[in-house]
Amino acid sequence: MLFLGCLSMNAGAQSHKANKTGKVTPAPTPAASSTPKPPAPGPGKKNGRPGNATGSTSASDHVPTYFYEFSRPGFDYPKVLIEHDQSGKGKISFEKNGASEMITDPIDLTPATIGNIDKMLTELDFLNSTENYQTEHDFSNMGNVTITYKKAGRERTAKYNWSDNKDAKALMDEYKRIGYEYTWRFEIGIARQNQPLQTPGLMDQLASYINRGEISDPPHLVPFLTELSNDERLPLIARNHAGKLVRQLQKQDK
C-alpha cells in the first residue's frame, strides 16, 4: 500500500510539472470523412474527331429499308456499310485501314440520289427477280457488294462484285459514289481541324471524284464547299480550289 501511494504521488508531481512548464499538445481530431463527388459528365465522346461535316441530324429516328455493304481487305476503307430510308436519312459506317473500330456518321441523301436508286431497283424488278447479277468472271479483287432492299414486308438480298446487267452495275456504282463522298467528308473534317496542310491534296481528290463521275448529285456539295472556301484555317490554295469547284458545280447545275 505504501508503495502504491508513492507511485501515485510521483505521477501527480510529474503531471503538475508538465502543466507548469508548458501545454500538452492534444491529439489531432480526425477529419470528417466524405465521399468525393464524381466529376460532372463531360460531352459525349465522338470518335476523337470533329463533328460530322454534313450537318445531318441523327438517323436514329429513321427505319432503314435500303442496305449496302462493301468489303475488300487491304483497301483504305476495307468495309463500308450504308443504310437509309425512303427519304434518304440514315447512316454510314466504315472501317479505316489500321483503325480498331468502325466510324459512324449520319447521311442525308438528296432526292436525285434516291431517285437514281429507286429507278434502278424498279428496272431490275429487284424484289421479284431471282436473277444472279454476278458476272461469270470473279472481280472480288475490286471488292464485294451486298445490297438488301425491304418494302411492304418483303425483302431480298443480292451479292456480287461485277455485273453484266447494266442496272445492277449502276446500282452498285451509285452506292460506291455515296461511300466516296462520305469517307472524303470524314477525311476533310479531320484535316481542317488538325492537319490543314493536308487539305489541298484532299481538294484535288474531290476534284478527281467529280470529274470521273464518282460523286452522286455533285451540285449538292456547293454549300459545304462554299464553307470550306471561307475557312481561314485552310491554306489559300485549298480555299481557292474549293471556290473553283463551287463555280464549276454551279455552272453544271444550270
Calpha distance 180→173 (Å, rounded): 10
How confident is the model over 41-55, as a mean pLDDT?
42
Q: Looking at the predicted structure, is the pLDDT value of residue 8 above 60? A: no
Q: End of a domain among 175, 209, 241?
A: 175
> Is residue 34 domain-resident?
no
Nearest of 220, 219, 224 to residue 203 by alpha carbon = 224
Say whether pLDDT at 206 is over 80: yes
pLDDT > 70: what percent of the chain?
76
Quick one: 170 and 204 in the same domain? no
162/246 same-domain check: no
Residue 41 has pLDDT above 60, yes or no: no
Neighbours of 48 (CB within 10 A): 6
What b/e sequence results for 72-97 when a residue is b if at least 16 CB atoms lie within 10 Å of its CB, and e otherwise?
Answer: beeeebbbbbbbbbeebbbbbebbbe
Residue 59 within a domain: yes
With respect to residue 224, please indicate whether it lies within any of the assigned structural domains. yes
For the chain, the domain total comes to 2
Q: Among 146, 175, 204, identify where a domain stops.
A: 175
Question: Which pLDDT does position 216 carry in this prediction?
Answer: 97
Cα end-to-end distance, the chain, whole Å: 121
pLDDT at 62: 81
pTM given for the model: 0.77
Residues 78 and 151 in one domain: yes
Please tell me which residue, 174 or 38, carries the higher pLDDT value: 174
Residue range of the domain that includes 207: 195-254
Please report the pLDDT score of residue 100 as a whole number.
82
